[in-house]
Amino acid sequence: MTTTPANSTRAPVLEFDDVSLAFGSRRILDHVSFEIRAGEFTGLIGSNGVGKTTLLKVILGTQRIQSGDIRINGTKRTARLRSVGYVPQKVSIDADVPIRSRDFVALGLDAHRFGLRRRTTEDRRRVDELLEAVDATSFADARLGDLSGGEQQRVLIAHALVSEPSLLLLDEPLANLDPRSVQEIVALLHNIAATRDVAVFLSAHEMNALLPVMDRIVYLTGGRAASGTTDEVVRSDVLSALYGHHVDVLQLHGRVLVVAEPGTTTDHLPSHETLKVD
């Protein structure tokens, strides 16, 4: 189920065309189609366990699909591309590992190569520029393991961007962050999309923090997806068709609540957007 936002005149960076994937009898992606364009901030929204991480792995080329096509910058995706940057959901960083933030960012320059190489003046300039862009200059020489969650996210984003990708994927980057850090990271990613012409694709189980900045949304549940602008997708008729039963969409104090009708299950609704009516 796909709707196309207005003012979409640029060529897509990412295209999903009728993509399907199942694990046994469980349909993870069921004829999913959507597209993302340069400079757009897109939220991949769905409850925990619906397949958001799997969908990102499909884009990265680490999970094979069973049918359909995926194109990145107009080219069929066959392997991990340098044009795709990635911030994983969980990164275990030991505080005792003596790697500085700037050194970790620099490792992103070698992601497509075997072995390390001597850093050039241009490499160092690019690393410094990315650290400044994510507001991480003040802790550039600190050990990565000593940083707060929000600070680590900034360094991880710089690491993913240093190879100048056209598509940036982030798997639940807002999880376990305090509300202030969530707002700061969302604003940072929105600025990156707008100023660097990068297509940002961020997965989350809660959409409200993204509402002020999302250009598009891909709403995933039960293997099916609805995509388009927030106004086009987050509507009662669209989400009722997606879930297969009636839901209401309510606006309450600047937040969106997806509400199941009495007697229906809410297990597949994003947890922080669920309100069951008695």
| pLDDT of 276 over the 70 cut | no
175 within a domain of the structure (yes/no): yes
- Predicted TM-score (pTM) of the model is 0.87
Least Cα distance to 247 among 226, 228, 217, 216 occurs for 226
> Looking at per-residue confidence, does 33 or 121 come out higher?
33
Query: Which residues constitute the domain of residue 181?
Result: 12-234
Nearby residues of 148 by Cβ (< 8 Å), 6 or more positions away: 181
pLDDT at 3: 46
180 within a domain of the structure (yes/no): yes
| pLDDT of 251 over the 60 cut | yes
Q: Which residue has the tokens 């911030």?
A: 87
String of b and e for 103-141 (b: at least 16 CB within 10 Å)? ebbbebbeeeeeeeeeeeeeeeebbeebbebbebeebbe
Residue pair 16/70 in contact by the 8 Å Cβ criterion: yes
Q: How many structural domains compose the chain?
A: 1
69-111: per-residue pLDDT in tens?
A: 999 999 887 655 678 999 998 777 777 778 899 999 998 887 5
CA atoms within 13 A on the CB side of 90: 2
Residue pair 212/43 in contact by the 8 Å Cβ criterion: no
50-69: per-residue pLDDT in tens?
A: 999 999 999 999 999 999 99
pLDDT at 60: 92
1 within a domain of the structure (yes/no): no
pLDDT at 52: 95
Confidence of residue 225 (pLDDT cuts 50, 70, 90): very high
Return mean pLDDT, the chain: 86
Mean pLDDT lowest among 38-42, 189-193, 248-252: 248-252
187 within a domain of the structure (yes/no): yes
258 within a domain of the structure (yes/no): no
Confidence of residue 227 (pLDDT cuts 50, 70, 90): very high
245 within a domain of the structure (yes/no): no
Confidence of residue 8 (pLDDT cuts 50, 70, 90): low
Q: Look up the CATH number of the domain holding residue 17.
A: 3.40.50.300
| pLDDT of 278 over the 50 cut | no
pLDDT at 141: 95
129-169: per-residue pLDDT in tens?
A: 999 999 999 999 999 989 998 999 999 999 999 989 999 99
pLDDT at 79: 58
| pLDDT of 202 over the 50 cut | yes
| pLDDT of 181 over the 70 cut | yes
251 within a domain of the structure (yes/no): no
